[in-house]
């Protein structure tokens, strides 16, 4: 249907553009370099012939594929984000193309002894004989979510070139800053005009998700007093040691590396400190609302206990909700999940319906009134040097988009 060569060429073009977001910036997009990607996408959308292309002052791109039927059909949408994670370098990405993968270790970087091995990353085994796109060990790959963009643009191009395929009007949107939790903040649902949509932002082939974490960020500040260590008895308060007490008081097995499926966690992702002050940055995640609220309450309770032990106002906790589980907004519109499931099965893909251990623009959009389940893009090991994507999975994701468009017009 859609050639792998064209998909590969498009994907390589996208990942060659550095478009990392920055959580410390207050602008939208959060980085100027995201505009490079946004402008490139607008240019390409014009070239393939989609309609009603727009880009606003926040970098949100929207476009349409006209209906090919006179029958009244729901207007559906497909959404992806063009920023890449700030967790790992996205500058000067040099992908490696592994054709006819033999199922063995892949040397990403010989000089640094960085190896992508199926003995550790067991998902690799299912892609033996396929074409893998990997990093060179120095950067992330950017499949999150430039694989999703590649698939949407490739499907749009195919549908425009094949007007004999019956489908209703289709909306396309590309957003900035999803990786820092702001991808839907300025999304104009009314302007978009879809009844419902799908984010192309999942991982391995077959994933179909309509549940995600409830999410919050937490900043814990610990105050101390610095005194010459030779004369510190009864005077020094070492904020780093109190911070250590806070860390060790949280459940040690409720961290990302010890949890799976619907299990929530506390994740300490950044720490900076000295004697005078230590700052801990956490994310809090749980699928169940009551457990989510209990996790936040635990942090507040722990800070109160430690303040009693070390002195009032030694520790402060600031927690901000980020997004919520979209399940409650999807359930009333479950037919959209059923259509996606049927689309996958019709092209030989076994659907993997499971909760997202993370979030997408779709979680926020669902609460804004646009039900938005999530579909696989094919990528694995996002946000780091071991990231890879099978080319065949991207091809199949593109076909799923086209099939969803067809099936929606038939319902």
Separation CA 211–CA 325 (nearest Å): 6
Q: Which two tokens stand for residue 219?
A: 């900043």
With left for phi above 0 and alpha for psi between -120 and 50, is residue 352 left, alpha or beta?
A: beta
Q: Which two tokens stand for residue 247?
A: 């860390």
The CA-to-CA distance between both ends of the chain, in Å, stands at 23
* Number of neighbouring beta carbons within 10 Å of residue 104: 11
Please check whether residue 80 is in contact with residue 144, taking contact to mean a CB–CB distance below 8 angstroms. no
Q: Which residues of 42-71 are buried (b: 16+ CB within 10 A; e: fewer)?
A: bebbeebebeeeebeebbbbbbbbebbeee
Active site residues per annotation: 83, 178
Q: Give percent helix, percent strand, percent coil of the chain, each to the nearest 5.
A: 35, 25, 40
């Amino acid at each position: 249907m859609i050639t792998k060569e064209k998909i590969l060429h498009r994907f390589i073009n996208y990942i060659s553009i550095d478009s990392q977001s920055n959580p410390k910036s207050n602008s939208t997009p959060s980085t100027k370099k995201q505009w490079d990607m946004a402008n490139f996408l607008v240019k390409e959308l014009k070239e393939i012939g989609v309609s009603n292309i727009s880009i606003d002052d926040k970098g949100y791109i929207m476009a349409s594929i006209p209906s090919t039927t006179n029958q009244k059909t729901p207007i559906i949408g497909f959404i992806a984000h063009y920023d890449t994670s700030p967790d790992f370098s996205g500058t000067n990405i040099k992908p490696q193309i592994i054709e006819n993968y033999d199922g063995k270790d892949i040397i990403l970087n010989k000089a640094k002894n960085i190896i992508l091995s199926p003995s550790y990353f067991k998902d690799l085994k299912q892609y033996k004989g396929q074409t893998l796109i990997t990093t060179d060990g120095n950067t992330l790959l950017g499949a999150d979510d430039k694989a999703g963009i590649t698939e949407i643009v490739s499907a749009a191009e195919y549908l425009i070139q094949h007007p004999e395929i019956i489908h209703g009007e289709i909306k396309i949107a590309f957003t900035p800053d999803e990786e820092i939790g702001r991808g839907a903040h300025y999304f104009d649902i009314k302007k978009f005009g879809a009844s419902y949509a799908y984010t192309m932002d999942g991982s391995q082939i077959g994933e179909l998700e309509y549940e995600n974490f409830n999410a919050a960020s937490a900043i814990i500040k610990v105050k101390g007093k610095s005194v010459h260590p030779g004369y510190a008895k009864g005077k020094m308060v070492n904020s780093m040691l109190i911070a250590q007490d806070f860390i060790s008081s949280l459940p040690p097995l409720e961290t990302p590396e010890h949890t799976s499926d619907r299990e929530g966690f506390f994740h300490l992702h950044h720490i900076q400190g000295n004697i005078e002050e230590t700052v801990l940055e956490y994310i809090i995640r749980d699928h169940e609302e009551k457990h989510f609220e209990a996790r936040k309450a635990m942090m507040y309770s722990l800070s109160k206990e430690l303040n009693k032990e070390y002195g009032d106002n030694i520790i402060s906790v600031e927690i901000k909700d980020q997004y919520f589980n979209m399940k409650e907004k999807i359930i009333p519109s479950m037919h959209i999940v059923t259509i996606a499931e049927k689309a996958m099965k019709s092209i030989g893909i076994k659907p993997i319906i499971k909760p997202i251990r993370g979030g997408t623009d779709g979680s926020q959009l669902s609460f804004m009134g646009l039900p938005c389940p999530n579909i696989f893009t094919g990528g694995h090991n996002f946000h780091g040097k071991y990231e890879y994507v099978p080319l065949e999975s991207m091809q199949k994701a593109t076909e799923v988009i086209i099939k969803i468009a067809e099936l929606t017009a038939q319902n």
